[in-house]
Homo-oligomer: A and B are copies of this chain.
């Protein structure tokens, strides 16, 4: 099977979100053009993205909203639920653990870990913060699919190593440092400082170059 670009996968997520919204509004069909308009891309891009996985539309008509929704959920692996653990019960870990958007899409937070004795044992909505010392044993027993890293930057690589050794194959990191893992472990990272620096760069270079040098109008 062809290798799918990360940018394509990101767009599929965007299309799916808009499709679900359209589904709720009772819309029956949608064109690549409309999908593109809302997703900040072009209709050719939408069709090309979908074409990697098959042929989902009807010429002259567009795509059936419920069918394309279902196909995208299938492609993205969202027909099942995923068992997620969070390491680091700090400010960001807490926000994530309580975020309803995850559960709605099938990402079930099953455990939260920390190393601070003052946090271990505290309870948030049916989740008890556990001691990170026992994480390997827990991973062995429960085989979580995805681990979210919400520990300070200096700790992140060390925890990632432990997670990988214990068998975790997918990591979402919020640490502002690069995480290195073997090739069979997928890592995504969200680096908020980097995003702000991207804005700082854009604002600065806009000024430097005098006239507006307009980047995209829709967010990536």
Contacts and interface: CB of A to CB of B under 8 A. Distances in A.
Interface of A: 1, 3-4, 6, 9-10, 12-14, 16-18, 38-40, 75-78, 82, 84, 91-92, 94-96, 98-99, 101-102, 105, 107, 145-146, 169-173, 176-206, 208-209, 212-220
Contacts of A215: 6, 183, 186
B201 A77 contact: yes
Given A178-B40, A218-B187, A14 B194 contact: yes
A201 B177 CA distance: 24
Given A102-B193, A197-B9, A186 B212 contact: no
Q: How many copies does the complex hold?
A: 2
A193 B98 CA distance: 14
Nearest to A184: B212
Contact of A13 (B39, B170, B197, B208): B197
A173 B192 CA distance: 10
A146 to B, nearest CB: 5
Contacts of A96: 192
A97 to B, nearest CB: 9
Nearest to A82: B200
B213 A9 contact: no
Contacts of A169: 203, 206
Nearest to A215: B186
B146 A196 contact: yes
Contacts of A193: 13, 17, 101-102, 105, 107
B197 A78 contact: yes
Given A9-B201, A203-B186, A180 B40 contact: yes
A95 B88 CA distance: 13
B172 A186 contact: no
Contacts of A195: 172, 188, 190
B214 A184 contact: yes
Contacts of A75: 201
